[in-house]
Amino acid sequence: MKVLVIVLFAIAMMLIARERSEAWRPATEGELRALIPTRAPVEKEHIETEFRTASGIVNGKGRYIAGVVLITAGYAAEGKYSNFFIAQVPIKIGDLSLAAGEYVFGWKRKDDDNLDVKFYEASSGKLLGAVEAHRLARTGKIESFRIVPPSDKAVIQIGRFGMKYELSE
């Protein structure tokens, strides 16, 4: 009987450790600096990024979901793209499923409570689809870009607006 209890306890501890190692948490500044390029490869250009706006999450396997605001003034992308986005695992944003890869997105205000957000393949500029970002009901600090871990709320925030996401891994 004691052996059975010990075995069950060991299995439970292994499952808890595995779950914790796979849990998503906010990425540190150092992790983001190692991941986010100072110039993002977008189509045939390398567009400057605004690192102070970088945000991301990481799991226990070292896989990231991260992004940053692009400084597009003077580039062909001006007015089309606003953010560079890296997904190292498949992700579904709204109804749009994205494989692991590098993306850019841009948004236009649809009305007072919604943004139309278009996602593109970063290397080619190919349009992949659009999702709607809805005005967030929260008050407090507004950040230009933020990715909230799935254990908290699973939202990609653009200013006062947010897009829900799901991770496929």
* Cα–Cα distance measured from residue 102 to residue 135, given in angstroms and rounded to the nearest whole number: 26
Positive or negative, the CA dihedral 70, 72, 77, 82 is positive
What predicted TM-score, i.e. pTM, was given to this entire model? Answer: 0.84
The count of other CB atoms within 10 Å of the CB of residue 103 is 22
pLDDT tens by residue, 29-48: 999 999 999 999 999 999 99
CB 115 within 8 A of CB 107: yes
Helix, coil or strand: residue 46: strand
The Cα diameter of the chain in Å comes to: 73
Virtual torsion, Cα 26, 133, 101, 64, nearest 10 deg: 10
pLDDT tens by residue, 50-99: 999 999 999 999 999 999 999 988 887 778 999 999 999 999 999 999 99
The answer to whether residue 4 scores a pLDDT higher than 70 is: no
Instruction: List the single range of 14-23, 67-76, 146-155 with lowest mean pLDDT.
Output: 14-23
Residue 102 tokens read as 């590098």
The DSSP 8-state label assigned to residue 168 in this structure reads -
With cut-offs at 50, 70 and 90, classify the pLDDT of residue 126: very high
pLDDT tens by residue, 95-120: 999 999 999 999 999 999 999 999 99
% of the chain beyond a pLDDT of 90:
75
